[in-house]
Amino acid sequence: MATIFSKIINKEIPSDMVYQDEYVTAFRDIEPQAPVHILIVPNKEIPTVNDIQEDDEQLVGKMFTAARKIAADEGVAADGYRLLINCNQHGGQEVFHLHMHLFGGRPLGPMLLNR
């Protein structure tokens, strides 16, 4: 179940970490698609949105609270930003440790490019 994100959370491998508390960790995406592109990850290993349990509701809320703080710290809160979670193959998920993308720093265009 462990992915590369667990090693980042545990600081076994380096990352550009911007936030960490007992619930969540956030670090810059290795292949940024916007001037600000940060991944917000629960410290608990949850593979996908499909695996979120009722007991995880507070933890999922912590991901949003972290997003709000990080957006302010990165200076993108007022202009706006996008939060995105991919799930499984059709969603384009590549790393099977739940994560929320925070994109910002430029107008992000339409939500889906290929309809």
Residues annotated catalytic, as ranges = 99
- The pair of three-digit structure tokens given for residue 80, joined into one six-digit string: 């706006």
Q: Is 94 in the site for ligand DGP (CB under 6 A)?
A: yes
Q: How far is the CB of 26 from ligand DGP (least distance, A)?
A: 10
Q: Is 95 in the site for ligand DGP (CB under 6 A)?
A: yes
| Nearest residue (CB) to ligand DGP, 29 versus 74 | 29
- The pair of three-digit structure tokens given for residue 87, joined into one six-digit string: 């799930």
The rounded distance, in Å, linking the Cα atoms of 104 and 106 is: 6
Length of the chain, please? 115
- The pair of three-digit structure tokens given for residue 111, joined into one six-digit string: 């939500």
Stretch binding ligand DGP (CB under 6 A), from 24-32, 41-49, 59-67, 102-110 = 24-32
> Which secondary structure element, helix H or strand E, spans residue 17, and what is its range?
strand 17-20
Q: How far is the CB of 90 from ligand DGP (least distance, A)?
A: 12
DSSP state of 100: E
Which residues form the interface with ligand DGP (CB under 6 A)?
4, 15, 27-31, 39, 86, 92-95
